[in-house]
Protein backbone atom coordinates (compact mmCIF):
# COMPACT_ATOMS: atom_id res chain seq x y z
CA UNK A 1 0.00 0.00 0.00
CA UNK A 2 1.30 3.44 -0.93
CA UNK A 3 2.13 5.90 1.85
CA UNK A 4 -0.54 8.11 0.27
CA UNK A 5 -3.39 5.60 0.59
CA UNK A 6 -6.24 6.96 2.69
CA UNK A 7 -4.50 10.30 3.23
CA UNK A 8 -6.43 13.54 2.85
CA UNK A 9 -4.38 15.87 0.67
CA UNK A 10 -5.34 19.47 -0.04
CA UNK A 11 -4.00 20.25 -3.51
CA UNK A 12 -3.61 24.04 -3.86
CA UNK A 13 -3.32 25.32 -7.40
CA UNK A 14 -2.20 28.89 -8.05
CA UNK A 15 -2.15 31.03 -11.18
CA UNK A 16 0.78 29.95 -13.30
CA UNK A 17 0.97 28.37 -16.74
CA UNK A 18 2.03 25.12 -15.05
CA UNK A 19 -1.44 24.87 -13.46
CA UNK A 20 -2.34 22.35 -16.15
CA UNK A 21 0.22 19.95 -14.65
CA UNK A 22 -1.72 19.98 -11.35
CA UNK A 23 -4.32 17.85 -13.12
CA UNK A 24 -1.75 15.08 -13.63
CA UNK A 25 -0.53 15.48 -10.04
CA UNK A 26 -4.12 15.09 -8.82
CA UNK A 27 -4.66 12.00 -10.97
CA UNK A 28 -1.50 10.34 -9.65
CA UNK A 29 -2.41 11.12 -6.02
CA UNK A 30 -5.89 9.66 -6.51
CA UNK A 31 -4.40 6.57 -8.21
CA UNK A 32 -2.17 6.08 -5.15
CA UNK A 33 -5.29 6.01 -2.95
CA UNK A 34 -5.23 9.58 -1.60
CA UNK A 35 -8.35 11.68 -1.09
CA UNK A 36 -7.61 14.88 -2.98
CA UNK A 37 -9.34 18.11 -1.94
CA UNK A 38 -8.57 20.69 -4.64
CA UNK A 39 -8.42 24.41 -3.93
CA UNK A 40 -7.81 26.86 -6.77
CA UNK A 41 -6.98 30.52 -6.48
CA UNK A 42 -8.80 33.06 -8.62
CA UNK A 43 -5.74 33.43 -10.89
CA UNK A 44 -5.47 29.65 -11.35
CA UNK A 45 -8.92 29.72 -12.93
CA UNK A 46 -7.50 31.84 -15.76
CA UNK A 47 -5.28 28.88 -16.67
CA UNK A 48 -7.45 25.80 -16.11
CA UNK A 49 -11.16 25.30 -15.54
CA UNK A 50 -12.54 24.07 -12.24
CA UNK A 51 -14.55 21.38 -14.07
CA UNK A 52 -11.48 19.44 -15.16
CA UNK A 53 -9.86 19.36 -11.74
CA UNK A 54 -13.19 18.63 -10.01
CA UNK A 55 -13.65 15.62 -12.26
CA UNK A 56 -10.18 14.23 -11.58
CA UNK A 57 -9.83 15.02 -7.87
CA UNK A 58 -11.83 13.31 -5.11
CA UNK A 59 -14.28 16.15 -4.62
CA UNK A 60 -15.29 19.42 -6.31
CA UNK A 61 -12.80 22.27 -6.47
CA UNK A 62 -13.06 24.84 -3.66
CA UNK A 63 -12.47 28.45 -4.61
CA UNK A 64 -14.52 30.60 -2.32
CA UNK A 65 -13.79 32.03 1.10
CA UNK A 66 -17.09 33.88 1.38
CA UNK A 67 -19.92 32.02 -0.34
CA UNK A 68 -19.01 28.41 0.27
CA UNK A 69 -22.06 26.13 0.39
CA UNK A 70 -20.02 23.14 1.67
CA UNK A 71 -19.15 24.70 5.05
CA UNK A 72 -19.86 27.82 7.14
CA UNK A 73 -16.18 28.02 8.15
CA UNK A 74 -14.18 27.52 4.95
CA UNK A 75 -11.11 29.41 6.21
CA UNK A 76 -10.23 26.66 8.71
CA UNK A 77 -12.12 23.54 7.63
CA UNK A 78 -9.81 22.38 4.85
CA UNK A 79 -6.51 23.01 6.64
CA UNK A 80 -7.68 21.39 9.87
CA UNK A 81 -8.79 18.19 8.14
CA UNK A 82 -5.71 17.73 5.96
CA UNK A 83 -2.90 15.19 6.34
CA UNK A 84 -0.85 17.19 3.83
CA UNK A 85 -1.15 20.43 1.89
CA UNK A 86 0.55 20.41 -1.49
CA UNK A 87 0.71 23.60 -3.54
CA UNK A 88 1.55 22.96 -7.20
CA UNK A 89 2.31 25.22 -8.91
CA UNK A 90 3.17 27.81 -6.26
CA UNK A 91 3.59 31.32 -7.69
CA UNK A 92 5.87 34.05 -6.30
CA UNK A 93 2.70 35.74 -4.99
CA UNK A 94 1.58 32.63 -3.08
CA UNK A 95 5.05 32.19 -1.56
CA UNK A 96 5.12 35.84 -0.45
CA UNK A 97 1.63 35.71 1.03
CA UNK A 98 2.30 32.41 2.83
CA UNK A 99 5.59 33.68 4.21
CA UNK A 100 3.86 36.79 5.59
CA UNK A 101 0.73 35.00 6.84
CA UNK A 102 -1.27 37.25 4.50
CA UNK A 103 -4.42 35.14 4.34
CA UNK A 104 -6.50 36.88 1.71
CA UNK A 105 -8.15 33.93 -0.04
CA UNK A 106 -9.21 30.35 0.62
CA UNK A 107 -5.82 28.78 -0.15
CA UNK A 108 -3.75 31.17 1.98
CA UNK A 109 -6.25 30.81 4.85
CA UNK A 110 -5.98 27.04 4.56
CA UNK A 111 -2.17 27.23 4.70
CA UNK A 112 -2.25 29.36 7.82
CA UNK A 113 -4.97 27.28 9.52
CA UNK A 114 -3.21 23.92 9.32
CA UNK A 115 -0.85 21.88 11.44
CA UNK A 116 -0.34 19.39 8.59
CA UNK A 117 2.95 19.28 6.68
CA UNK A 118 3.11 21.57 3.65
CA UNK A 119 4.89 21.07 0.34
CA UNK A 120 5.25 23.98 -2.08
CA UNK A 121 6.29 23.41 -5.69
CA UNK A 122 7.36 26.80 -7.08
CA UNK A 123 7.07 27.55 -10.79
CA UNK A 124 7.89 30.88 -12.39
CA UNK A 125 10.19 32.58 -14.87
CA UNK A 126 13.91 32.41 -14.13
CA UNK A 127 14.15 36.15 -13.35
CA UNK A 128 11.42 35.77 -10.74
CA UNK A 129 12.82 32.52 -9.29
CA UNK A 130 16.22 34.20 -8.88
CA UNK A 131 14.86 37.45 -7.44
CA UNK A 132 16.16 38.11 -3.89
CA UNK A 133 12.60 38.46 -2.54
CA UNK A 134 11.63 35.01 -3.79
CA UNK A 135 14.91 33.50 -2.54
CA UNK A 136 14.29 35.11 0.84
CA UNK A 137 10.70 33.85 1.04
CA UNK A 138 11.74 30.31 0.11
CA UNK A 139 14.53 30.36 2.72
CA UNK A 140 12.16 31.51 5.44
CA UNK A 141 9.53 28.93 4.54
CA UNK A 142 12.19 26.20 4.55
CA UNK A 143 13.38 27.29 7.99
CA UNK A 144 9.81 26.89 9.22
CA UNK A 145 9.76 23.29 8.02
CA UNK A 146 7.90 23.79 4.75
CA UNK A 147 9.06 21.27 2.13
CA UNK A 148 10.10 22.77 -1.19
CA UNK A 149 10.14 20.76 -4.42
CA UNK A 150 12.61 22.79 -6.46
CA UNK A 151 11.66 23.72 -10.02
CA UNK A 152 13.58 22.22 -12.93
CA UNK A 153 15.46 23.92 -15.71
CA UNK A 154 13.75 23.76 -19.05
CA UNK A 155 11.35 25.44 -21.44
CA UNK A 156 9.17 28.10 -19.86
CA UNK A 157 6.14 29.99 -21.14
CA UNK A 158 6.85 32.32 -24.07
CA UNK A 159 9.71 30.15 -25.35
CA UNK A 160 12.18 31.15 -22.62
CA UNK A 161 14.53 28.50 -21.29
CA UNK A 162 15.91 28.41 -17.74
CA UNK A 163 15.31 27.47 -14.12
CA UNK A 164 11.75 27.80 -12.88
CA UNK A 165 9.77 25.08 -14.64
CA UNK A 166 7.49 23.15 -12.30
CA UNK A 167 9.01 19.84 -11.13
CA UNK A 168 7.57 16.76 -12.85
CA UNK A 169 4.32 15.29 -11.47
CA UNK A 170 6.37 12.17 -10.66
CA UNK A 171 8.81 14.18 -8.52
CA UNK A 172 5.96 16.02 -6.78
CA UNK A 173 4.13 12.80 -5.90
CA UNK A 174 7.42 11.23 -4.73
CA UNK A 175 7.88 14.22 -2.39
CA UNK A 176 4.38 13.66 -0.98
CA UNK A 177 5.23 9.99 -0.40
CA UNK A 178 8.44 10.99 1.35
CA UNK A 179 6.66 13.43 3.64
CA UNK A 180 3.76 11.08 4.51
CA UNK A 181 5.53 7.73 4.46
CA UNK A 182 7.51 6.01 7.19
CA UNK A 183 11.07 7.36 7.46
CA UNK A 184 12.53 4.11 8.69
CA UNK A 185 15.65 4.32 6.50
CA UNK A 186 16.63 7.89 7.37
CA UNK A 187 20.38 8.33 6.96
CA UNK A 188 20.84 4.71 5.81
CA UNK A 189 23.29 4.29 2.92
CA UNK A 190 21.77 2.09 0.23
CA UNK A 191 23.32 0.85 -3.02
CA UNK A 192 20.98 -0.57 -5.65
CA UNK A 193 22.18 -2.09 -8.92
CA UNK A 194 19.76 -2.17 -11.84
CA UNK A 195 19.54 -3.29 -15.45
CA UNK A 196 21.35 -5.91 -17.48
CA UNK A 197 25.07 -5.63 -18.15
CA UNK A 198 26.37 -5.46 -21.75
CA UNK A 199 29.62 -7.24 -22.54
CA UNK A 200 31.32 -6.19 -25.79
CA UNK A 201 31.96 -8.75 -28.55
CA UNK A 202 33.42 -6.12 -30.88
CA UNK A 203 33.13 -2.36 -31.41
CA UNK A 204 29.37 -2.53 -32.06
CA UNK A 205 28.02 -5.83 -30.73
CA UNK A 206 27.36 -6.90 -27.15
CA UNK A 207 26.25 -9.90 -25.12
CA UNK A 208 23.19 -8.54 -23.31
CA UNK A 209 20.08 -9.72 -21.49
CA UNK A 210 16.46 -8.66 -21.24
CA UNK A 211 16.50 -6.91 -17.87
CA UNK A 212 14.70 -3.53 -18.08
CA UNK A 213 15.99 -2.20 -14.75
CA UNK A 214 12.43 -1.30 -13.65
CA UNK A 215 12.44 -3.43 -10.48
CA UNK A 216 15.79 -1.99 -9.34
CA UNK A 217 14.58 1.57 -9.99
CA UNK A 218 11.42 0.84 -7.98
CA UNK A 219 13.56 -0.41 -5.06
CA UNK A 220 15.65 2.78 -5.27
CA UNK A 221 12.51 4.99 -5.33
CA UNK A 222 11.02 3.21 -2.31
CA UNK A 223 14.29 3.42 -0.34
CA UNK A 224 14.45 7.17 -1.10
CA UNK A 225 10.84 7.63 -0.02
CA UNK A 226 11.74 6.01 3.30
CA UNK A 227 14.61 8.46 3.88
CA UNK A 228 17.64 6.49 2.62
CA UNK A 229 20.63 7.95 0.77
CA UNK A 230 20.56 5.96 -2.46
CA UNK A 231 23.25 5.26 -5.03
CA UNK A 232 21.87 3.59 -8.14
CA UNK A 233 24.47 1.73 -10.18
CA UNK A 234 22.64 1.35 -13.45
CA UNK A 235 23.08 0.13 -17.00
CA UNK A 236 19.82 1.70 -18.21
CA UNK A 237 18.68 5.27 -18.77
CA UNK A 238 15.24 5.23 -17.16
CA UNK A 239 14.24 8.52 -15.45
CA UNK A 240 16.14 8.42 -12.16
CA UNK A 241 14.14 8.60 -8.94
CA UNK A 242 14.49 12.10 -7.48
CA UNK A 243 17.39 12.30 -5.05
CA UNK A 244 19.25 9.18 -6.23
CA UNK A 245 22.93 9.44 -7.13
CA UNK A 246 23.15 7.57 -10.42
CA UNK A 247 26.39 5.86 -11.45
CA UNK A 248 26.07 4.75 -15.07
CA UNK A 249 27.91 1.54 -15.98
CA UNK A 250 27.78 -0.90 -18.85
CA UNK A 251 29.79 -4.07 -18.17
CA UNK A 252 29.99 -6.47 -15.21
CA UNK A 253 33.55 -5.25 -14.57
CA UNK A 254 32.40 -1.60 -14.45
CA UNK A 255 29.52 -2.53 -12.17
CA UNK A 256 31.89 -4.47 -9.90
CA UNK A 257 34.30 -1.52 -9.64
CA UNK A 258 31.48 0.96 -8.94
CA UNK A 259 29.91 -1.21 -6.25
CA UNK A 260 33.07 -2.47 -4.55
CA UNK A 261 34.38 1.08 -4.21
CA UNK A 262 31.20 2.11 -2.36
CA UNK A 263 30.35 -1.16 -0.55
CA UNK A 264 32.39 -0.63 2.67
CA UNK A 265 30.26 2.36 3.70
CA UNK A 266 26.93 0.86 2.59
CA UNK A 267 24.37 -0.31 5.14
CA UNK A 268 22.26 -2.07 2.52
CA UNK A 269 23.16 -3.42 -0.92
CA UNK A 270 20.43 -4.63 -3.26
CA UNK A 271 21.77 -6.40 -6.35
CA UNK A 272 18.73 -6.19 -8.61
CA UNK A 273 20.89 -6.05 -11.75
CA UNK A 274 21.02 -8.96 -14.16
CA UNK A 275 24.79 -9.32 -14.34
CA UNK A 276 26.09 -11.37 -17.28
CA UNK A 277 27.49 -14.70 -16.16
CA UNK A 278 29.78 -14.94 -19.20
CA UNK A 279 31.61 -12.37 -21.31
CA UNK A 280 33.81 -12.58 -24.43
CA UNK A 281 37.42 -13.16 -23.39
CA UNK A 282 38.52 -10.23 -25.55
CA UNK A 283 36.43 -7.79 -27.55
CA UNK A 284 37.58 -7.34 -31.18
CA UNK A 285 38.81 -3.78 -31.62
CA UNK A 286 36.85 -2.96 -34.78
CA UNK A 287 33.62 -4.40 -36.17
CA UNK A 288 33.88 -8.12 -37.01
CA UNK A 289 33.18 -8.38 -40.77
CA UNK A 290 30.24 -10.49 -41.93
CA UNK A 291 32.17 -11.67 -45.01
CA UNK A 292 34.86 -13.22 -42.78
CA UNK A 293 32.38 -15.94 -41.77
CA UNK A 294 30.77 -16.90 -38.46
CA UNK A 295 33.18 -15.80 -35.70
CA UNK A 296 34.08 -18.01 -32.80
CA UNK A 297 33.47 -16.01 -29.65
CA UNK A 298 35.24 -17.52 -26.68
CA UNK A 299 33.51 -16.75 -23.38
CA UNK A 300 34.84 -16.60 -19.84
CA UNK A 301 32.96 -16.27 -16.55
CA UNK A 302 32.44 -12.78 -15.12
CA UNK A 303 33.27 -12.14 -11.46
CA UNK A 304 30.27 -12.84 -9.23
CA UNK A 305 29.90 -9.41 -7.63
CA UNK A 306 27.32 -10.53 -5.09
CA UNK A 307 29.28 -13.60 -3.97
CA UNK A 308 32.33 -11.33 -3.48
CA UNK A 309 30.27 -8.91 -1.37
CA UNK A 310 28.87 -11.84 0.64
CA UNK A 311 32.38 -13.09 1.41
CA UNK A 312 33.51 -9.75 2.86
CA UNK A 313 30.22 -8.48 4.28
CA UNK A 314 30.48 -6.35 7.45
CA UNK A 315 28.12 -7.53 10.23
CA UNK A 316 25.85 -4.46 10.04
CA UNK A 317 25.35 -4.71 6.27
CA UNK A 318 22.18 -6.18 4.77
CA UNK A 319 22.92 -7.91 1.48
CA UNK A 320 20.07 -8.65 -0.92
CA UNK A 321 20.22 -10.65 -4.16
CA UNK A 322 17.73 -11.35 -6.90
CA UNK A 323 17.31 -14.74 -8.54
CA UNK A 324 15.67 -14.82 -11.94
CA UNK A 325 14.73 -18.43 -12.61
CA UNK A 326 12.62 -20.36 -15.06
CA UNK A 327 12.71 -23.73 -13.19
CA UNK A 328 12.81 -24.87 -9.56
CA UNK A 329 12.52 -21.24 -8.44
CA UNK A 330 12.58 -21.56 -4.68
CA UNK A 331 15.11 -24.42 -4.49
CA UNK A 332 17.60 -22.62 -6.75
CA UNK A 333 17.14 -19.31 -4.98
CA UNK A 334 17.65 -21.02 -1.61
CA UNK A 335 21.01 -22.40 -2.79
CA UNK A 336 22.14 -18.90 -3.88
CA UNK A 337 20.96 -17.39 -0.60
CA UNK A 338 23.26 -19.72 1.32
CA UNK A 339 26.17 -19.88 -1.11
CA UNK A 340 26.45 -16.11 -1.52
CA UNK A 341 25.94 -15.42 2.23
CA UNK A 342 22.87 -13.20 1.68
CA UNK A 343 20.33 -11.85 4.17
CA UNK A 344 17.52 -11.93 1.62
CA UNK A 345 16.98 -13.20 -1.90
CA UNK A 346 14.11 -12.10 -4.12
CA UNK A 347 13.21 -15.00 -6.38
CA UNK A 348 11.23 -14.32 -9.51
CA UNK A 349 9.93 -16.75 -12.04
CA UNK A 350 10.81 -14.88 -15.23
CA UNK A 351 8.98 -17.50 -17.31
CA UNK A 352 5.56 -16.62 -15.83
CA UNK A 353 3.25 -14.11 -17.56
CA UNK A 354 3.29 -10.47 -16.38
CA UNK A 355 6.36 -11.25 -14.28
CA UNK A 356 9.98 -10.15 -14.54
CA UNK A 357 11.73 -8.44 -17.42
CA UNK A 358 10.12 -5.36 -19.04
CA UNK A 359 6.75 -5.77 -17.26
CA UNK A 360 5.49 -3.16 -14.79
CA UNK A 361 4.31 -5.98 -12.52
CA UNK A 362 6.15 -8.76 -10.75
CA UNK A 363 5.43 -11.75 -8.50
CA UNK A 364 8.21 -12.88 -6.20
CA UNK A 365 9.12 -15.08 -3.28
CA UNK A 366 11.20 -13.55 -0.50
CA UNK A 367 13.65 -16.00 1.08
CA UNK A 368 15.67 -15.43 4.24
CA UNK A 369 17.92 -17.77 6.16
CA UNK A 370 15.96 -19.37 9.00
CA UNK A 371 12.58 -17.90 8.01
CA UNK A 372 9.58 -19.15 6.10
CA UNK A 373 9.41 -18.04 2.44
CA UNK A 374 7.02 -15.12 1.83
CA UNK A 375 5.16 -15.02 -1.48
CA UNK A 376 4.23 -11.67 -2.99
CA UNK A 377 1.48 -12.20 -5.56
CA UNK A 378 1.39 -10.30 -8.86
CA UNK A 379 1.71 -6.60 -8.00
CA UNK A 380 3.16 -3.35 -9.36
CA UNK A 381 6.97 -3.34 -9.15
CA UNK A 382 6.75 -0.45 -6.69
CA UNK A 383 4.58 -2.61 -4.39
CA UNK A 384 7.10 -5.45 -4.68
CA UNK A 385 9.83 -2.91 -3.86
CA UNK A 386 7.88 -1.87 -0.75
CA UNK A 387 7.72 -5.50 0.42
CA UNK A 388 11.48 -5.86 -0.17
CA UNK A 389 12.25 -2.67 1.77
CA UNK A 390 9.87 -3.70 4.60
CA UNK A 391 11.82 -6.95 4.91
CA UNK A 392 15.15 -5.09 4.89
CA UNK A 393 13.87 -2.83 7.70
CA UNK A 394 12.84 -5.96 9.66
CA UNK A 395 16.27 -7.54 9.15
CA UNK A 396 18.01 -4.35 10.29
CA UNK A 397 15.79 -4.18 13.38
CA UNK A 398 16.50 -7.82 14.30
CA UNK A 399 20.26 -7.40 13.75
CA UNK A 400 20.31 -4.30 15.95
CA UNK A 401 18.23 -6.01 18.66
CA UNK A 402 20.64 -8.98 18.52
CA UNK A 403 23.56 -6.64 19.24
CA UNK A 404 21.95 -5.06 22.31
O1 LIG B 1 23.81 -16.80 -9.63
P2 LIG B 1 22.88 -15.84 -10.25
O3 LIG B 1 23.47 -15.05 -11.37
O4 LIG B 1 21.54 -16.38 -10.63
O5 LIG B 1 22.57 -14.83 -9.03
C6 LIG B 1 21.77 -13.72 -9.20
C7 LIG B 1 22.18 -12.64 -8.23
O8 LIG B 1 23.60 -12.50 -8.27
C9 LIG B 1 21.63 -11.29 -8.63
O10 LIG B 1 21.39 -10.57 -7.45
C11 LIG B 1 22.75 -10.67 -9.45
O12 LIG B 1 22.72 -9.27 -9.39
C13 LIG B 1 23.98 -11.24 -8.78
N14 LIG B 1 25.12 -11.48 -9.69
C15 LIG B 1 26.30 -10.81 -9.51
N16 LIG B 1 27.38 -11.03 -10.33
C17 LIG B 1 27.29 -11.93 -11.31
C18 LIG B 1 26.11 -12.64 -11.51
C19 LIG B 1 25.03 -12.38 -10.68
O20 LIG B 1 26.39 -9.98 -8.60
N21 LIG B 1 28.35 -12.13 -12.09
Residue 150: pLDDT band (50, 70, 90) is very high
Percent of residues, the chain, with pLDDT higher than 70: 99
Query: Would you name the residues annotated as active-site residues?
Result: 209
Per-residue pLDDT, 403 = 44
Name 153's bridge partners. Answer: 163
Backbone φ and ψ of 209, nearest 5°: -140, 180
pLDDT of residue 401: 60
Please give the domain boundaries of the chain with CATH numbers for all domains. 8-180 (3.40.50.1950), 189-400 (3.40.50.10300)
pTM: 0.85
- Indicate the range of 156-160, 184-188, 300-304 predicted with least confidence: 156-160
Encode pLDDT of 51-73 as tens digits. Answer: 999 999 999 999 999 888 888 88
Average pLDDT over residues 228-238: 97
CA of 85: how far to CAs of 37, 170, 227, 291, in Å? 9, 17, 20, 66
**How many Å lie between the centroid of ligand 1 and the Cα of residue 368?**
17
Closest CA to 349 of 383, 367, 326: 326
Ligand 1 pocket mutation, candidates 197, 276, 306, 336, criterion most atoms within 8 A of CB: 306
Residue 400 has pLDDT above 80, yes or no: no
pLDDT at 184 over 70: yes
Distance from Cα 199 to the centre of ligand 1, integer Å? 15
CA–CA gap between residue 241 and residue 222 (Å, rounded): 9
Three-class DSSP category at 8: strand
Examine the pLDDT at 250 and tell me if it is beyond 70: yes
Compute the 3-state secondary structure of the chain and give helix, strand, coil in percent, each to the nearest 5.
35, 25, 40
Mean pLDDT of 137-145: 94
pLDDT digits (tens, 9 = 90+) for 83-103: 999 999 999 999 999 999 999
- Classify residue 300 by burial, with Cβ atoms within 10 Å: 0-12, 13-18, 19+: exposed
The pLDDT assigned to 404 comes to 41
- Residue among 304, 335, 340 whose CB has most ligand 1 atoms within 8 A, to mutate: 304
CA gap 16, 45 in Å, rounded: 10
- What is residue 159's predicted lDDT score, i.e. its pLDDT? 82
Residue owning the nearest CA to atom 1 of ligand 1: 336
Amino acid sequence: MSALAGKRIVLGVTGGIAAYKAIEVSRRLVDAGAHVVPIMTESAQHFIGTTTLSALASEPVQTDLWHNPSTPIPHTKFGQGADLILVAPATAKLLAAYRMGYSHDLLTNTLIATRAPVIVCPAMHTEMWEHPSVIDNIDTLRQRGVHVVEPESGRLAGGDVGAGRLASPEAIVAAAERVLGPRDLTGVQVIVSAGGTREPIDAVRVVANRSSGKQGYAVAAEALARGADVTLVSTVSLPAPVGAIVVPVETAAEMQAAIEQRAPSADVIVMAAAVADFRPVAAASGKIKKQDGVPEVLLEPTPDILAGLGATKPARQVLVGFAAETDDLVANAQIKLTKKNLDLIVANDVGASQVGFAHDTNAVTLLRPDAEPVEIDLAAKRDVARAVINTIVEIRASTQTGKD
